[in-house]
A and B are shown apart, each in its own frame.
Chain A
Amino acid sequence: MTANQRPATVGFIGLGDQGAPMAQAIGDNGFGLHVWARRPQSLETLAGMSHKVHDSPASLAVAVGILALCLPDDRDIWDVLGTPGVEEALRPGLIVVNHGTGDPEGNREIAEHLAGKRVAYLDAPVSGGGPGARERTLTTMAGGDRNAYETCEPVFATFSRTVAYMGPSGSGQIAKLLNNAMTMSNLDNAVALIRLVSRLGMDVRAVIDVIDVSSGGSAILGTLGSDVTPETAPHLQGLMRKDIEHFAEAIRACGLDPQPLHGRGLAGADGLAEAVGLLTADARH
């Protein structure tokens, strides 16, 4: 433990669908919450709760012990670090946390860059999406300096059901990519099975409902026809294809073969709309 036992002050940038409820959870749990947002309307989600608004990332970075970033990709992290004044605000003891999903190697580079300034860095992507953030049941997987992780763990716990330390820098991203690939490979199995049940002429919905509570069940199977509908499936397919290509690139960058999960993930994404269609067709006729 560090000498300073007071609850940390946490700066948050990235008040989107995922980030805003995470920031709310942090502020609700006794941490001093500081925020900066590119667009002022993003701040409306924090109305009614105690927080301090800054007019620049640099002003925010100076004021906090932990700087949490929940941004679309790794380039956005470099953008924040390159914003005028931020470089000067980086000081020994500060911890920068990246909650976005990115590349393991890219995150090791960010960690190295910050280590040169004796600033600790954690890659701590989350799984569970906007709904998981609002329910404060996210899974947070962190890689990087172990002491920095111990300091941040109570902050992560405010919006997570599961918080885990995965290993050195980049390993949080590795865990997230493997989580995505596993989700989509399980989806591929579910898709293959739904096609098979349909071809056997059985009641697809009845069979899947019973598998859902039996040993063949999986988290992704449970979402088909409920969270994932024929209307949302096409959009999700696009996100999933991006995720699985990202997984494949990152695994290849480590000199490893992403198959067979890469192919399964793609096939799972490709079959999503069809499978959800077969599942809901039964209920609609």
Chain B
Amino acid sequence: MTAHQHTTTVGFIGLGDQGAPIARAIAEAGFELHAWARKARSLDGLDGVRYVAHQSPAELGAVSDIVGLCLNVDDNVRDIMTTGGLLAAMRPGSVLVNHGTGLPAFALEMTRLANDHGVEALDAPVSGGHAGAVAKTLVTLVGGEAAVIDRCRPVFESFSSKVAVMGGAGTGQTAKLINNALLMANQENLRDMLAIADGMRVEIPALVDVLRAGTSSSRALQLLGSAVTSDNADHLREMQLVDMDIFADAVHDLGDSAAGFTNRAVLGAKALPELAARIH
């Protein structure tokens, strides 16, 4: 599959459920992949693709034109960048990309920290989950300098069906948080709909089929029974609630007008296990 060998070298840190298939896609597209993992076992996720393993984030940073991070929380990104020695080792003009979901304000902080070392930064969170990463059909929402985004676009395209430029630093994160909040608010509509349908003489599985097919369909409804099941709903609920904490922070300055929507989305996140048990 490596039809074409790119000259750009790509470092990748964060080989989890989402990160490992992203890194694989980058290597399969012909980029020279460099990897570091805190736990050596995590490198198993790259079995079968060509990559260079490194002993430290700094060693990886020194040889990479673009470094992608796919870590759980902003604090981990900051740690790797600073105390982990990544930024100090990266070459001037190289690019640090954060694929994790986090605060728009942190994206601005990350950009400042990177620029102090002559390094460019992008926030590029992804939507589509593990399945989307494996299928290379993620939606990547990017914030940052247009010229820097253009340099990274071929890398993003290796694992995305859509690369959407949202604006300056932080806007990728804002768009991602907004998308997630809308997913959860639509989940809350489903919960309230089921509460009414329960009191009516109507077959719930047939109703779900009809709602999925028609004008009332949503990705929230389609994901239930496919990517979202009773097996992972509790885990996803916790992730959604973390996202909503970040969302509430990000829209805090908008005051009451955002509060109603935020509350609805939080209720929708909390309802996810109940929805997964009822909608397959």
Interface residues of A (CB under 8 A from B): 104, 127-128, 139, 141, 143, 161-162, 164-168, 170-171, 174-175, 178-183, 185-186, 189-190, 192-193, 195-197, 199-200, 202-203, 206-207, 209-211, 213-221, 251, 254-258, 260-261, 264
Contacts and interface: CB of A to CB of B under 8 A. Distances in A.
B42 interface: no
Given A175-B210, A182-B189, A214 B216 contact: no
* B161, B200, B217, most chain A CB atoms within 10 A: B200
A164 B206 contact: yes
B182 A166 contact: no
Contacts of B135: none
Contacts of A200: 174, 251, 254
A189 B214 contact: no
B260 interface: yes
B215 interface: yes
Given A162-B209, A166-B207, A182-B216, A218 B186 contact: yes
A256 B210 CA distance: 22
Contacts of A174: 197, 200-202
A189 B186 contact: yes
Interface in B55-89: none
Nearest to B172: A210
Given A206-B164, A218-B220, 13 more contacts: A166-B206, A174-B200, A175-B202, A179-B211, A185-B189, A186-B186, A189-B264, A193-B261, A195-B257, A200-B254, A214-B128, A218-B217, A261-B193
A183 B179 contact: no
Nearest to A216: B182
Contacts of B141: 210
13 contacts: A162-B210, A164-B206, A175-B210, A178-B193, A183-B215, A193-B182, A200-B251, A215-B223, A216-B219, A218-B217, A219-B216, A220-B216, A254-B199
A211 B200 contact: no
Contacts of A214: 127-128, 139, 179, 219
B166 A178 contact: no
Contacts of B214: 127-128, 139, 162, 179, 183, 219
Contacts, number: 189
Interface in B138-190: 139, 141, 161-162, 164-167, 171, 174-175, 178-183, 185-186, 189-190
Given A182-B189, A209-B164, A210-B162, A189 B182 contact: yes
Nearest to B208: A164
Contacts of A210: 139, 141, 162, 164, 166, 175, 179
Contacts of B128: 214-215
Nearest to A264: B189
B261 to A, nearest CB: 4
Interface of B: 127-129, 139, 141, 161-162, 164-167, 171, 174-175, 178-183, 185-186, 189-190, 192-193, 196-197, 199-203, 206-207, 209-211, 213-220, 223, 251, 254, 257-258, 260-261, 264
A261 B189 contact: yes
Contacts of B165: 206
A202 B251 CA distance: 13
Contact of A202 (B175, B196, B202, B210): B175
Given A218-B186, A251-B196, A196 B166 contact: no
The 8 A-B pairs with the shortest beta carbon distances in the complex, nearest first, are A216-B182, A182-B216, A218-B218, A162-B213, A210-B164, A216-B179, A214-B127, A127-B214
B196 A258 contact: yes
Contacts of B201: 167-168, 170-171, 174
B220 A215 contact: yes
Given A179-B210, A180-B216, A261-B189, A206 B166 contact: yes
Given A183-B216, A210-B166, A216-B219, A261 B196 contact: yes
Nearest to B199: A256
Contacts of B203: 165-167, 171
A163 to B, nearest CB: 9
